[in-house]
Chain A
Amino acid sequence: MTSFDMEQLRAADPAMGLRAVGALHRLAERVEAVHVAEARRAGWSWEQIGDALGVTRQSVHAKYGKRESNV
């Protein structure tokens, strides 16, 4: 799928490298939002989702619970 070249990682200038980190974080947040909603629709509990993401039930509920009640 994706080639990941450590030499290229080191060669990137700081502005590009740090922007890439921000971009990855943004991507992760968007992908997480989609799949947490999917899991809830499929009947997963907040605890199960928290375990899958490696965070507490409370933190995942605090982040997405309010949004779900708005839908």
Chain B
Amino acid sequence: MFERFASAARTAVQDARYEAERRGDRRIGSDHLLLALLEDDELARLVGVDAAAAHDAADQLDRTALAAIGLTLGEFQPTGRAALGRRVPLMTTGGKTVIQQALAKAAAEKARTITSRHLLLALLDRREPDPAATLLAALGIDQPALRARLAATA
């Protein structure tokens, strides 16, 4: 399936695996795909948010959720990078859906390869409580406007 991925999209999928490992998640999810896509400067400009801002927002969502159950971390800032237990982490169903939808979008455009743009469009279709949708909402991204910008770059 991945042979049809353009190099940028392929990099994003590989980076998503690294994101999952770094954050300490057991599976590669749609949120990791989003964080990985934003490592690309051109795409980050299009979205209007860079990877650093997205990481901060994801951490803030974690802190808010912990506070909601009565846990405050205070000054505690874990500095370590987590390690994955298994060699090849699996994807969450949400992550798989994003890949499948990116494929479908590329096919609908009769595009020969699946690009980062197809992946991002597939991510924009996710609905909360999907973690990528939650992150996009937290970042305050104007999704219809972003879709329009993405359509213009097709």
Query: Does chain A bind chain B?
Result: yes
A positions within 8 Å CB-CB of B: 2-5, 8-9, 12-20, 22-34, 37, 59, 62-64, 67
Closest to B85 in A: A63
Question: Contact: B69 with A26, CB < 8 Å?
Answer: no
B: contact size bracket: 20 to 34
* A30 to B82 CA separation, bound complex (whole angstroms): 4
Contact of A12 among B68, B84, B129 (CB under 8 A): B68
Q: Is the interface of B mostly helix, strand, loop or mixed?
A: loop
List B28-51 residues whose CB lies under 8 Å from chain A. Answer: none
B141 within 8 A of A: no
Q: Does B78 contact A (CB under 8 A)?
A: yes
Is there contact, CB below 8 Å, between A22 and B62? yes
- B70, chain A: closest CB distance, angstroms: 4
Interface membership of B65, Cβ < 8 A? yes
Please determine whether B24 and A25 come into contact, CB atoms closer than 8 angstroms: yes
**Assembly CA distance A18 to B29 (angstroms):** 15
